[in-house]
Amino acid sequence: MKDFILIVCKPMLLMFFLGFIVLGCPCYELEELGQYPHFEFITVKMTNKSSLDIHLFISEKESFDPSNKVLPNGSREWKYSWEAQNSNDKFNITIIAGRNGTVLDTKNDEIEPGIISEHYIYATWNGSSLD
């Protein structure tokens, strides 16, 4: 019986208490551990599902340019790193679809910092709107 307690029960109790400490303690939030500021990584994947060329770009960082013209059934990626100052910090991003210098549609997204620091945003031009 003593061997049963030492071999089976002791490791189970140890795992229980370690799990309680790690999962039940609010001190493991990023901000309380002093991990702010920290970087968030954003990848925006923009796809053209229409039959005509379209400019797909990020309004805060780009403008109409040959480099962001996407061919039919083509796509482009935009990558950015953002330094979050605290857990309430937010990053707003606006994706624009346009042709001949005219904005045809926009898509807004908001990134909030968190434990997962990689964010993926998808925008698809279907010929009349961004989805």
For position 22, what pLDDT does the model report?
Answer: 46
For position 113, what pLDDT does the model report?
Answer: 84
Q: How distant, in Å, are the alpha carbons of 5, 37, 49, 77, 114 from that of 104?
A: 70, 36, 15, 20, 33
Calpha distance 90→109 (Å, rounded): 10
Whether the full predicted model's pTM is greater than 0.85, yes or no, is: no
Task: Mention every residue, 6+ apart, whose C-beta is less than 8 A from residue 109.
Answer: 92, 93, 94, 95, 121
pLDDT 10s digit of each residue in the chain, 131 long? 555 555 655 666 556 555 544 455 444 444 444 477 888 899 999 999 999 999 999 998 999 999 999 999 999 999 999 888 888 888 899 999 999 999 999 999 998 887 778 899 999 999 999 99
